[in-house]
């Protein structure tokens, strides 16, 4: 079986533009190989169309109805779809031929490459082969183990961001009906910090920006800790539109990513045969974890200019009417020292002065960010400081302005809206009680990190995952894999085999489900589901392909089937599974903003959820006002001789799914065990570009090793390094998490680099 051979890795010059013809070629190659040419083209043309299915990739919003092209997808969306709709199958013969121990030797790429799961599979205690099991037997087995728990809190229900709104709603209902709020999700590991900071400061844990704020209105777009060229590629089309009407773009990133330099739009002649569009006007190569100092620094500059010419910089009407905490924040900025700001951000005062001039010249500013901001110890403080930055000039609640955290998985935002959270507020739980007639648990449950701790400590017996690849997505791989093996039963609802299915509990189940591309027919007829994108638009998604196997079930059907087995028809589990309109009726009555859900979600393009700050400058914080906060810059302390490492994705990757071994925009071909380091940092250690090195992370409980990486001299600030996850997750200590959000600090890991042993 194929494994990832990193001896073959080749390093070329990083690209200075993205997309163009190569993106089309790669997209079509993937589609042809995995789906076949005719089926592939037909499928891709239905993607992100009003009557088609939602891309299973990222959560970037679709253009308005009427503005969509016939090919409304990017290279990576095409890969995600092709990967799901592959013709390859991993059925009972495959599992009979390959033991779990044998499969554990394979990497993520080759595991998923075996194809779609076709029927429920069971791994009995002490056995090394999964064997077929019927759906009814599988439900009975899970129900039996759950009923036997002395406490429902000994079960945990994990959700990946692919689950539809309908599946997520029924899933949280199942967990709470059982009596637990243990609902860890992938959001705990990505935008929990954004939710935490935004809820506290503006009263809503989501972005407040619409797509046309970016394409049509913003005069300045600041992109921080985000690499849209790989992670949200259609965002580049929106940025190109913004550039064409004269907007400026400032990129804040320790790596100069090709996607932010120049975009060759594959849907335009200029993009295909011309030089494309230059995107970034100003690049700020911030030191890893220096973003808080950067925003505090620019806020200090703005304050100094306001002091010099009162009334010319700040939006005092907005601040006085809508905000509190302004005076305390100003005091804090006044006392900041430039030496601290410069050393922590890695940028000069002059660079921040120039940035401030961009800000002052712009009537409206949007700030977009992603994991480069959220996965640090001080992530919540950094996002609060970004909110300060926006509030100072009234850049919330008017066209072209606001915070825009960009979500990584297609429905991660919707799942949270549906109640997938270990800490849902009482108002939601009250409505759930009133709708279903049972008392939901009120104690907070485990988030992702606390679930791993609980599994490690023997406090979880049953781990149920609705999608995802838990052990690859989470930190501290060795600890997490051991924790998973500590469970009595692990259950995974999945489309394809991954490592989490092999790091199993004493017994394990694999429950194969329909993908987004597939038709979902239930007793009540053809079904569609709904999702919510990064900009709070809820819309429908309907697959058209024949299911990969007649034994596949939808996620809704699986969850409701388990509910029925556990509880009978107490709250109408079968009704929900037979006709998703029943679920949407429940959602309408339980979740705020879903009035007339059925009617509105059937409108082409769907509808936008209310966001008080955006719609009416309403801030539902404790004080009823948007809050300025004081956020002391406190960049991570890197001991002499060490570097601060961020983990990131390659271009041939979506979250934990690895489509191939190239990262062509960064010049990497044929391997993934590479570490990007400033050339001077290599020299200072007696190392050279191309050397084989080991990475050693340093934490209070000891050292962690990731061995055998190729050092790549790369343009990044001194003291910084970067490498791919999930390979590097082994270096991220479980207990190293963001303050307030408990998000793993995967973007700031203290490491040493040593010659390979
Ligand atoms: S930008 Fe995101 S949602 Fe759009 S096609 Fe690409 S991966 Fe899919």
pLDDT in tens, 512-537: 999 999 999 999 999 999 999 999 99
Q: Which atom of ligand 1 is nearest to the CA of 232?
A: 1
* pLDDT number for residue 42: 82
CATH number of the domain encompassing residue 293: 3.40.228.10
Contact 519, 545 (CB under 8 A): yes
Q: Which domain holds residue 157?
A: 89-186+411-609
* Same domain membership, residue 267 and residue 142: no
* Same domain membership, residue 173 and residue 110: yes
CA of 268 to the centre of ligand 1 (A): 18
Query: Which residue's CA is the closest to the ligand 1 atom numbered 3?
Result: 58
* Same domain membership, residue 421 and residue 373: no
* pLDDT number for residue 421: 97
* Same domain membership, residue 460 and residue 431: yes
* pLDDT number for residue 364: 98
CATH number of the domain encompassing residue 416: 3.40.50.740
CA of 416 to the centre of ligand 1 (A): 20
Residue 38 lies in a domain: no
* Same domain membership, residue 132 and residue 200: no
Residue 223 lies in a domain: yes
Contact 675, 695 (CB under 8 A): yes
Evaluate if residue 274 carries a pLDDT over 80.
Answer: no
Of 406, 430, 462, the residue that ends a domain is: 406
Residue 25 lies in a domain: no
Residue 621 lies in a domain: no
* Same domain membership, residue 120 and residue 168: yes
Q: Buried b / exposed e across 648-669, counting CB within 10 Å, b at 16+?
A: bbbbbbbbbbbbbbbbbbbbbe
Domain count, the chain: 3
Q: Which residues line ligand 1 (CB under 6 A)?
A: 55, 57-58, 60, 73-74, 76-77, 80, 232-234
Rounded Cα distance, 327 and 713, in Å: 45
1 pLDDT band, cuts 50/70/90, is: very low
* Same domain membership, residue 270 and residue 143: no
* Same domain membership, residue 170 and residue 202: no
Evaluate if residue 5 carries a pLDDT over 60.
Answer: no
CA of 57 to the centre of ligand 1 (A): 5
Contact 483, 455 (CB under 8 A): yes
Give tens-digit pLDDT for 506-517: 999 999 999 999
Q: Which position has the token pair 């995802």? A: 468
Q: Which atom of ligand 1 is nearest to the CA of 654?
A: 7
Query: In testing the pocket of ligand 1, which one of 27, 72, 77 has its CB within 8 Å of the most ligand atoms?
Result: 77
Task: Tell me how far apart the terminal alpha carbons of the chain are, to the nearest angstrom.
Answer: 27
For 643, phi then psi, to 5°, come to -125, 165
Evaluate if residue 314 carries a pLDDT over 80.
Answer: yes
* Same domain membership, residue 457 and residue 387: no
- Span 96-107, average pLDDT: 96
User: Which of 587, 604, 597, 601 lies closest to 528 in space, CA to CA?
Assistant: 601
User: Which of 716, 725, 751, 746 lies closest to 650 in space, CA to CA?
Assistant: 725
Query: In testing the pocket of ligand 1, which one of 30, 49, 53, 58 has its CB within 8 Å of the most ligand atoms?
Result: 58
User: Which of 347, 353, 357, 350 lies closest to 248 in space, CA to CA?
Assistant: 357
Evaluate if residue 3 carries a pLDDT over 50.
Answer: no
When mean pLDDT is compared across 12-21, 558-567, 739-748, the lowest value belongs to: 12-21
Query: In testing the pocket of ligand 1, which one of 56, 60, 230 has its CB within 8 Å of the most ligand atoms?
Result: 60
Rounded Cα distance, 236 and 260, in Å: 8
Q: Which atom of ligand 1 is nearest to the CA of 58?
A: 2
- Span 689-706, average pLDDT: 97
3-class state of residue 427 by DSSP: helix
* Same domain membership, residue 347 and residue 265: yes
* pLDDT number for residue 47: 83
Q: Which position has the token pair 């163009």? A: 20
Give me the numbers of helices (H) and strands (E) for the chain, helices first please: 31, 33
CA of 55 to the centre of ligand 1 (A): 6
Query: In testing the pocket of ligand 1, which one of 82, 232, 240, 653 has its CB within 8 Å of the most ligand atoms?
Result: 232
Rounded Cα distance, 230 and 258, in Å: 9
Rounded Cα distance, 442 and 426, in Å: 7
Which parts of 47-113 fold into alpha helices (H)?
75-84, 92-97, 100-103, 108-112
* pLDDT number for residue 272: 65
* Same domain membership, residue 417 and residue 478: yes
Evaluate if residue 269 carries a pLDDT over 70.
Answer: no
Of 406, 435, 463, the residue that ends a domain is: 406
CA of 409 to the centre of ligand 1 (A): 9
CATH number of the domain encompassing residue 745: 2.40.40.20
* Same domain membership, residue 727 and residue 710: yes
User: Which of 43, 53, 64 lies closest to 604 in space, CA to CA?
Assistant: 64
Of 584, 609, 634, the residue that ends a domain is: 609
Tell me: cis bond preceding 726? Omega within 30 of 0 counts: yes
Residue 218 lies in a domain: yes
As a residue count, the chain comes to 757
Residue 165 lies in a domain: yes
Residue 24 lies in a domain: no
* pLDDT number for residue 81: 87
3-class state of residue 281 by DSSP: coil
CA of 478 to the centre of ligand 1 (A): 32
Given 3-state DSSP classes, what are the helix, strand and coil percentages for the chain, each rounded to the nearest 5? Answer: 40, 20, 40
- Span 462-477, average pLDDT: 97
Residue 36 lies in a domain: no
Average pLDDT score over the chain: 94
CA of 550 to the centre of ligand 1 (A): 28
Rounded Cα distance, 530 and 235, in Å: 21
Rounded Cα distance, 122 and 137, in Å: 10
Task: State pTM to two decimals.
Answer: 0.95
When mean pLDDT is compared across 129-143, 230-244, 253-267, 278-292, the lowest value belongs to: 253-267
CA of 646 to the centre of ligand 1 (A): 24
Give tens-digit pLDDT for 9-35: 999 999 988 877 777 777 788 788 888
Instruction: Sort residue 7 into left (φ over 0), alpha (ψ -120 to 50) or beta.
Output: alpha
Contact 562, 144 (CB under 8 A): no
């Amino acid at each position: 079986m194929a494994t990832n051979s990193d001896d073959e890795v080749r390093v070329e010059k990083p690209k200075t533009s993205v997309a163009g013809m190569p993106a089309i070629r790669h997209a079509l190659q993937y589609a042809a190989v995995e789906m076949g040419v005719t089926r592939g083209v037909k499928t891709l043309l239905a993607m992100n169309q009003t009557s088609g299915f939602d891309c299973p990739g990222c959560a970037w919003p679709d253009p308005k109805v009427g503005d969509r092209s016939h090919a409304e997808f990017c290279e990576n969306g095409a890969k995600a779809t092709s990967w799901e709709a592959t013709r390859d199958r991993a059925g009972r013969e495959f599992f009979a031929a390959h033991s779990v121990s044998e499969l554990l030797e394979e990497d993520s790429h080759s595991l998923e490459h075996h194809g779609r799961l076709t029927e429920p599979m069971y791994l009995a205690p002490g056995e090394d082969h999964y064997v077929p099991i019927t759906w009814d037997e599988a439900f009975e087995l899970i129900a039996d183990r759950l009923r036997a728990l002395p406490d429902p809190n000994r079960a945990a229900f994990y959700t990946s961001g692919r689950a539809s709104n309908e599946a997520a709603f029924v899933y949280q209902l199942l967990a709470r009906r059982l009596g637990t709020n243990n609902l860890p999700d992938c959001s705990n590991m990505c935008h929990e910090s954004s939710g935490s900071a935004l809820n506290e400061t503006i009263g809503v844990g989501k972005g407040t920006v619409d797509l046309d704020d970016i394409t049509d209105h913003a005069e300045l777009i600041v992109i921080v800790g985000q690499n849209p060229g790989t992670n949200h590629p259609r965002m580049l089309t929106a940025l190109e539109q913004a550039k064409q009407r004269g907007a400026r773009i400032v990129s804040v990133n320790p790596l100069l990513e090709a996607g932010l330099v120049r975009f060759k739009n594959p849907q335009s002649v200029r993009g295909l045969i011309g030089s494309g569009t230059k995107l970034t006007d100003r690049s700020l190569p911030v030191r890893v974890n220096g973003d808080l100092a950067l925003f505090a620094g620019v806020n200090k500059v703005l304050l100094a200019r306001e002091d010099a010419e009162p009334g010319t910089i700040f939006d005092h009407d907005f601040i006085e009417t809508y905000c509190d905490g302004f005076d305390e924040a100003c005091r804090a900025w006044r006392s900041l020292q430039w030496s601290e700001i410069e050393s922590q951000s890695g940028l000069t005062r002059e660079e921040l002065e120039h940035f401030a001039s961009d800000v002052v010249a712009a009537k409206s500013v949007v700030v977009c960010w992603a994991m480069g901001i959220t996965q640090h110890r001080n992530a919540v403080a950094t996002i609060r400081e970004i909110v300060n930055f926006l509030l100072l000039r009234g850049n919330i609640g008017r066209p072209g302005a606001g915070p825009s955290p960009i979500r990584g998985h297609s429905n991660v935002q919707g799942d949270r809206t549906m109640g997938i959270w270990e800490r849902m507020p009482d108002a939601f739980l009250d409505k759930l009680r009133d709708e279903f007639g049972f008392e939901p648990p009120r104690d907070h449950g485990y988030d992702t990190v606390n679930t791993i701790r609980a599994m490690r400590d023997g406090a979880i017996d049953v781990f149920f995952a609705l999608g995802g690849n838990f052990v690859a997505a989470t930190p501290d791989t060795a600890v997490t894999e051991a924790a998973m093996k500590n469970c009595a039963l692990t259950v995974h609802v999945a489309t394809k085999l991954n490592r989490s299915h092999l790091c199993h509990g004493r017994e394990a189940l694999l429950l194969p489900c329909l993908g987004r591309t597939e038709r979902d027919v239930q007793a009540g007829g053809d079904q569609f589901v709904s999702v919510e994108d990064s900009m709070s638009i809820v819309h429908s998604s309907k697959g058209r392909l024949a299911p990969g196997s007649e034994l596949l079930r939808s996620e809704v059907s699986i969850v409701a089937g388990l509910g029925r087995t556990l509880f009978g028809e107490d709250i109408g589990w079968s009704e929900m599974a037979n006709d998703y309109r029943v679920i949407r009726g429940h959602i309408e009555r339980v979740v705020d903003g879903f009035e007339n859900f059925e009617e509105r979600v059937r409108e082409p393009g769907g509808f936008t959820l209310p966001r008080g700050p955006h719609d009416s400058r309403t801030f539902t914080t404790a004080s009823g006002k948007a809050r300025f906060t004081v956020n002391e810059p406190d960049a991570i302390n890197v001991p002499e001789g060490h570097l601060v490492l961020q983990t990131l994705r390659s271009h041939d990757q979506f979250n934990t799914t690895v489509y191939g071994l190239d990262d062509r925009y960064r010049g990497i071909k044929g391997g993934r065990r590479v570490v990007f380091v400033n050339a001077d940092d290599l020299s200072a250690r007696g190392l050279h570009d191309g050397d084989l090195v080991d990475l050693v992370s340093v934490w209070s409980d000891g050292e962690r090793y990731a061995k055998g990486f190729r050092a790549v001299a790369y343009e990044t600030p001194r003291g910084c390094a970067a490498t791919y996850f999930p390979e590097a997750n082994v270096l991220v200590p479980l207990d190293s998490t963001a303050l307030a959000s408990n998000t793993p600090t995967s973007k700031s890991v203290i490491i040493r680099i040593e010659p390979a042993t």
